[in-house]
């Protein structure tokens, strides 16, 4: 910030968001900042002469009686104007606060203030690239800034001032080349935020902090730190609990059952001939239980260790916590790498090429600036570190890597992907996800005869099914074609063929190929819609994504093959035309206007996005007609009636041949998971993987569920089969409202249907508690990623979720204490993969309900219960609103699969909320156990 300049950091609380509609300021907060310090603070209530809406009262905690005795804006306005006039106006979302207060000033015939104004939201988005959210309350929590009363203007203004000071400090600490580039890119930022960056580009010592960075082609990159090699040590495997305790203390507490697991894993690594299956409950110490013995064994065997998981949370926990702790007790350094798709990494050459673009929109330019700062901090180049809720922007398509930089590239020495591959090749332990491992098990860096641990193994069969799936993402292909067409049409309109006939011919050739290919795709989508979806979707399912199984007859198969062949031929025509045009532009690089250069970059990025999708489509075209019950086409439609959202996939649920090929390459696998058995039966896990002979063991966690948890069941809940959806949604919304009023904790509500989520959300949106609690709903308020991020950050949030939220999330420590199950988690019978599994089991003479549907639902319910208990300190309540769990015999089986010692209590619906509050407060629930 400029020395001697006064910065007024302002926050307003108002009756609403629209001054023109009669909304007014009710609270003014301001922190004055000068020379890097807060020099004064102001807080003032303001009488709006109108009653506050309930939502505003709940949000701010301000009451009408507090404002009744306060001065109105006409009285206080001139004083505030004098305070702010001449200062740089700073706010968190400046385009709300500044126009609003200027509207108030205009009502007093006072001139507008804020000739210079800055936005801390945009500054934070640029300077804090690792932040998961840029809401003020989330940033203050992340940065440990005191913020006692969110949505109170004085507290918000002071917190924003501390944030501004911290951002100013972060900006000064950046290398000069980065500050200078930010200044050059800041013209499109809000108000004078770009001018502030330009001012700071000249501030400070240009040589400061240079030691921590590598400057390559004008980009400042965090210098990679090479750890000094540790002196070689050898740790003998401890014999007995006492020796193990001596090795592990004080970092780990050793339990007898954990030592039993370690012994079994160590024996298996030495001479195991069959798979080892370990059901290890959450909190049992399973990660240490398999990693320590394998690492001790590795000292002599030199075998690579591969750990596959289903969640990123476990990958990060292993790499950042468990393995470093084991390295410390072994007095060594471990080379550990997470293996993921090459497209996770940034291509520095592609990014650098976009820095000079002038046609980026404001959002894209902001993202480019964020990445510029991120490059000074990241050591991996993994774009996932940015924690965005979507990576589908065309900008990402342009900058993601897909292959290592060539040897003659100016970026080769700092190529993140090349570095990642080198680290992976040298790693002792590789961590990856099930799907990636299944697709790439026979490629580098996975070594033959490695020791493989399949953690979270209950998900591996479904991941293998996904790996086998041939995907024809027709909507994404169409988006790429539209990007190419849009870029070409822009040049045609503006350039008027001023670049010669050969250029015109090549551009027209690309355009014609795009038009023909678009037409071919549309014809295929029309055909699939008519064959599978038209007339087959009931009204209640039309407000959510649609999936249907299609096993075509001979005539339909012949028609499909013809369409795919035509598309394949036209794709070849398009790529030929694109190659010729790109070569022509590249060979005369100095000749072209900026518009043509931008077009070339756009079509190049779109073509790169199109190529892997084309490979998938080619795989579909080579599928031979078959009548096997375990395989078929999956037709998807994202939005009912939108024919351009139709896509085509091929699924195969019998993965035994694939899994046999995977396991043959390595030493006998170790499978670890919290729910490998279902109702004490290993078969639902073993059968899909073709496991016929294995050593099995069960490792309980020893949690005191009788003290820590409760399962509440509502026998008076509406009968799901007999109750209309709207009436059932009303019941669920009422139950959530009661829980919310009696309990301040976060609440996760699990559904089987997105349509029911929408109905319950609509019901709850009318309730007054929504001003007090943040209501999140999958598919309504955001994507899975977005609502999950908000749920973790927002105190007291209520999340309505389906699918992934049953099992594919990790909520640390006290994030979750109340979990509501609206319906038992049976998969919809119309789901294509469910139908294929049922067909396959029936063809083998089995019973799909008892061999597949019931075990899967039981496992999901058990996994949902496990969300509540991640450690011995956690406690929580599972509330089941589906009466079938008591009314049906199979419901009792599901209930009994939950931990035996957790009390299961039947209560009337009206008593659930208070019973939950009492239990979490430590008050006994005096009801008879079921």
Query: What is residue 229's predicted lDDT score, i.e. its pLDDT?
Result: 67
Average pLDDT on 140-149 reads 88
Residue 860, domain member (yes or no): yes
Tell whether 723 is in a known binding site.
Answer: no
Q: Which CATH number do you get for residue 35?
A: 3.30.420.10
Whether residues 810 and 899 share a domain: the answer is: yes
Same domain for 543 and 603: yes
Closest Cα partner for 669 from 271, 303, 260, 272?
Answer: 272
Does one domain contain both 540 and 624?
A: yes
Domain that holds residue 876: 705-920
Does one domain contain both 767 and 804? yes
- Indicate which CATH number applies to the domain containing 639: 1.20.140
Least confident of 228-242, 250-264, 858-872: 228-242
Q: Is 930 labelled a binding residue?
A: no
Predicted confidence (pLDDT) at residue 151 exceeds the cutoff of 80: no
| Residue 355 neighbours by CB distance under 10 Å | 16
Pair (575, 608) in one structural domain: yes
User: Each residue of 34-71: pLDDT tens digit?
Assistant: 999 999 999 999 999 999 887 788 778 888 898 999 99
Claim to verify: residue 477 and residue 526 sit in the same structural domain: yes
**690 shares its domain with 710:** no
The answer to whether the beta carbons of residues 792 and 746 sit under 8 Å apart is no
Average pLDDT for 8-21:
93
This prediction has a pTM of: 0.87
Planar angle of CA 214, 215, 218, nearest 5 degrees: 160
Give the range with max mean pLDDT: 2-6, 165-169, 699-703.
165-169
| Residue 29 clears pLDDT 90, i.e. is over it | yes
- Judge whether residue 492 has pLDDT over 50: yes
- Note the pLDDT of residue 208: 47
248's tokens = 């592990």
Token reading at 500: 């010669």
What is the DSSP secondary-structure string of 303-322?
A: --EEEEES-HHHHHHIIIII
Residue 665, token pair as written in the block? 């390459």
| Element containing residue 565 per DSSP (H, E) | helix 554-587
Going across the sheet that includes 695-699, the strands are 336-338, 429-433, 305-309, 451-454, 670-673, 276-280, 695-699
In a domain, 380, yes or no: no
Q: Reply yes or no: is the peptide bond before residue 250 cis, omega within 30 of 0.
A: yes
Greater pLDDT, 87 or 927:
87
- The residue that leads in pLDDT, 484 or 231, is 484
Which residues lie closer than 8 Å to 622 by C-beta, 6 or more apart?
none
Which residues does residue 292 pair with via DSSP β-bridges, in sequence order? none
Q: Is there a binding annotation on residue 91?
A: no
pLDDT at 601 over 90: no
Digit-coded pLDDT (tens) for 115-127: 999 999 999 999 9
Residues 762 and 897 in one domain: yes
Rounded Cα distance between 848 and 850, Å, is 6
Residue 284, marked binder: yes
Distance of CA 891 to the CA centre of its chain: 33
Total tally of structural domains belonging to the chain: 4
Sign of CA dihedral 467, 473, 476, 481: positive
Q: What is the pLDDT of residues 720-756, one digit of tens each?
A: 888 998 999 999 999 999 999 999 899 999 999 888 9
Residue from 364, 458, 467, 504 nearest 686 by CA:
458
Domain identity same for 22 and 136: yes
**Does a structural domain hold residue 384?**
no
Give the mean model confidence (pLDDT) for residues 690-718.
92
The phi-psi region of residue 285 (left if phi > 0; otherwise alpha if psi is between -120 and 50; otherwise beta) is left
Q: Strand ranges (DSSP E) for 451-528? A: 451-454, 470-472
Per the model's pLDDT, the better-predicted residue between 398 and 177 turns out to be 177
When pLDDT is cut at 50, 70 and 90, the band that residue 768 belongs to is: low
If you write DSSP's letter for every residue of 671-710 in order, what string do you get? EEETTS-BTTBSHHHHHHHT--S-EEEEE-----HHHHEE
Exposure string over 561-575, b if 16+ CB within 10 A, otherwise e: bebbebbbebbeebb
Q: For 341-367, how does the pLDDT look when each residue is reduced to its tens digit (9 = 90+)?
A: 998 999 999 899 888 777 778 888 999
Determine, yes or no, domain membership for 187: no
Q: What is the mean pLDDT of the chain?
A: 89
Residues 640 and 756 in one domain: no
Q: pLDDT for 864-888, tens place per residue? A: 898 888 777 788 999 999 999 999 9
Judged against a pLDDT cut of 90, whether residue 656 lies above it is answered with yes
> Is 281 known to sit in a ligand binding site?
yes
Give a yes or no: residue 458 inside a domain: no
Asked whether residue 107 is assigned to any structural domain, the reply reads yes
Together in a domain, 724 and 600: no
Helix H or strand E encompassing 119: strand 117-119
> How much is the average pLDDT of 373-399?
83
pLDDT the model gives residue 662 = 96
Distance (Å, whole) CA 71 – CA 96: 23
- Residues 589 and 678 reside in one and the same domain: no
Closest to 200 in 3D by CA, of 217, 226, 178: 178
Q: Residue 662: what are its φ and ψ, rounded to 5°?
A: -65, -50
CATH number, domain containing residue 814 = 3.40.50.300
Where is average pLDDT lowest: 513-517, 655-659, 838-842, 872-876? 872-876
Residue 179 lies in a domain: no
The tokens for 352 are 């650098």
For residues 57 and 136, the answer to whether their CB atoms sit within 8 Å is no
Cα–Cα distance, 161 to 179 (Å, whole number): 22
417-470 per-position pLDDT tens digit: 999 999 999 999 999 999 999 999 999 999 999 999 999 999 999 999 998 898
Tell me the CATH number at 319.
3.40.50
Q: Is the residue at 843 inside a domain? A: yes
The share of the chain scoring above pLDDT 90, in percent, equals 62
In angstroms, the CA 674 to CA 862 distance is: 9
pLDDT tens-digit map of 182-233: 999 998 899 999 999 999 988 755 554 566 899 998 899 998 877 666 667 8
């Amino acid at each position: 910030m400029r020395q001697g300049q006064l910065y007024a950091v302002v926050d307003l609380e108002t009756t609403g968001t629209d001054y023109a509609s009669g909304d007014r300021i009710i609270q003014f907060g301001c922190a004055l900042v000068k020379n890097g310090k807060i020099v004064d603070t102001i807080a003032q209530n303001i009488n709006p002469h109108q009653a506050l809406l309930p939502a505003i009262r709940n949000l701010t905690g301000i009451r009408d009686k507090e404002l009744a005795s306060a001065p109105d804006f006409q009285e206080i306005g001139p004083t505030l104007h004098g305070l702010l006039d001449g200062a740089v106006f700073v706010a968190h979302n400046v385009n709300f606060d500044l126009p609003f207060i200027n509207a108030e000033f205009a009502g007093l015939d006072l001139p507008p203030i804020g000739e210079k104004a800055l936005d801390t939201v945009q500054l934070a988005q640029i300077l804090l690239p690792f932040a998961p959210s840029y809401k003020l309350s989330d940033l203050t929590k992340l940065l440990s800034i005191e913020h006692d009363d969110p949505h109170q203007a004085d507290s918000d203004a002071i917190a924003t001032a501390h944030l501004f000071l911290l951002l100013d400090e972060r900006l000064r600490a950046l290398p000069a080349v980065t500050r200078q580039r930010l200044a050059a890119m800041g013209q499109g930022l809000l108000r004078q935020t770009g001018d502030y960056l330009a001012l700071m580009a000249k501030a400070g010592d240009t040589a400061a902090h240079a030691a921590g960075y590598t400057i390559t082609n004008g980009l400042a990159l965090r210098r990679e730190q090479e750890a000094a090699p540790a002196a070689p040590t050898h740790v003998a495997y401890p014999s007995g609990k006492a020796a193990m305790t001596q090795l592990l203390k004080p970092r780990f507490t050793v339990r007898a059952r954990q030592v039993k697991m370690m012994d079994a894993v160590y024996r298996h690594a030495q001479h195991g001939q069959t798979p080892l299956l370990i059901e290890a409950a959450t909190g049992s110490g399973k990660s240490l239980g398999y990693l320590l013995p394998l690492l001790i064994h590795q000292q002599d065997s030199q075998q690579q260790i591969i750990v596959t998981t289903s969640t990123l949370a476990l990958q990060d926990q292993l790499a950042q916590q468990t393995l470093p702790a084991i390295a410390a007790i072994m007095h060594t350094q471990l080379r550990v790498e997470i293996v993921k798709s090459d497209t996770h990494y940034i291509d520095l050459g592609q990014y650098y090429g976009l820095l000079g673009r002038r046609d980026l929109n404001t959002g894209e330019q902001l993202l480019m600036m964020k990445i510029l700062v991120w490059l000074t901090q990241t050591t991996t180049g993994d774009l996932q570190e940015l924690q965005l809720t979507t990576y589908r922007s065309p900008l990402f398509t342009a900058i993601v890597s897909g292959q290592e930089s060539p040897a003659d590239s100016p970026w080769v020495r700092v190529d993140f992907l090349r570095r990642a591959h080198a680290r992976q090749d040298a790693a002792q332990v590789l961590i990856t996800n099930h799907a990636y491992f299944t697709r790439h098990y026979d490629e580098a860096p996975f070594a033959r005869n490695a020791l493989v641990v399949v953690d979270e193994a209950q998900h591996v069969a479904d991941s293998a099914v996904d790996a086998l799936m041939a995907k024809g993402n027709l909507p994404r292909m169409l988006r790429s074609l539209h990007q190419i067409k849009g870029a070409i049409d822009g040049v045609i309109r503006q350039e008027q063929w001023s670049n010669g006939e050969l250029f015109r011919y090549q551009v027209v050739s690309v355009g014609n190929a795009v038009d023909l290919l678009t037409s071919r795709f549309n014809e295929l989508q029309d055909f699939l819609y008519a064959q599978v979806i038209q007339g087959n979707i009931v009204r209640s399912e039309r407000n959510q994504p649609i999936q249907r199984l299609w096993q075509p007859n001979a005539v339909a198969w012949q028609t499909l093959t013809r369409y795919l062949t035509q598309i394949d031929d036209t794709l070849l025509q398009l790529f030929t035309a694109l190659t010729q045009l790109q070569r022509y532009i590249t060979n005369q690089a100095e000749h072209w206007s900026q518009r043509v250069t931008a077009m070339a970059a756009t079509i190049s990025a779109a073509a790169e996005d199109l190529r892997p999708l084309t490979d998938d489509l080619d795989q579909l075209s080579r599928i031979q007609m078959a009548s096997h019950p375990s395989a078929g086409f999956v037709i998807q439609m994202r939005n009912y009636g939108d024919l351009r959202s139709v896509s085509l996939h091929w699924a195969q649920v019998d993965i035994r041949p694939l899994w046999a090929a995977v396991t043959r390459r390595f030493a006998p696998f170790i499978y670890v998971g919290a729910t490998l058995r279902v109702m004490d039966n290993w078969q639902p896990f073993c059968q899909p993987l073709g496991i016929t002979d294995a050593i099995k063991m069960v490792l309980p966690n020893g949690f005191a569920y009788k003290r820590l948890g409760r399962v509440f069941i509502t026998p008076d809940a509406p009968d799901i089969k007999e109750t209309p959806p709207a009436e059932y949604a009303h019941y669920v919304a009422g139950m959530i409202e009661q829980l919310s009023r009696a309990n301040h904790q976060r609440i996760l509500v699990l559904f089987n249907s997105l349509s029911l989520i929408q109905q319950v959300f609509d019901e709850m949106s009318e309730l007054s508690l929504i001003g007090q609690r943040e209501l999140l709903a999958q598919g309504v308020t955001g994507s899975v990623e977005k609502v999950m991020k908000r749920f973790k950050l927002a105190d007291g949030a209520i999340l309505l979720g389906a699918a992934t939220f049953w099992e594919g999330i990790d909520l640390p420590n006290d994030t979750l204490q109340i979990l509501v199950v609206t319906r038992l988690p049976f998969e919809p019978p119309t789901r294509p993969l469910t139908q294929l599994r049922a067909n396959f089991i029936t063809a083998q003479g089995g019973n799909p309900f008892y061999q597949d549907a019931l075990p899967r639902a039981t496992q999901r319910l058990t996994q949902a219960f496990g969300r509540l208990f991640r450690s011995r300190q956690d406690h929580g309540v599972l509330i089941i609103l589906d009466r079938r769990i008591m009314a049906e015999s199979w419901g009792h089986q599901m209930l009994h699969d939950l931990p035996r010692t957790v009390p299961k209590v039947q209560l009337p619906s009206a008593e659930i909320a208070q019973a939950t509050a009492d239990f979490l407060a430590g008050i006994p629930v005096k009801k008879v156990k079921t």
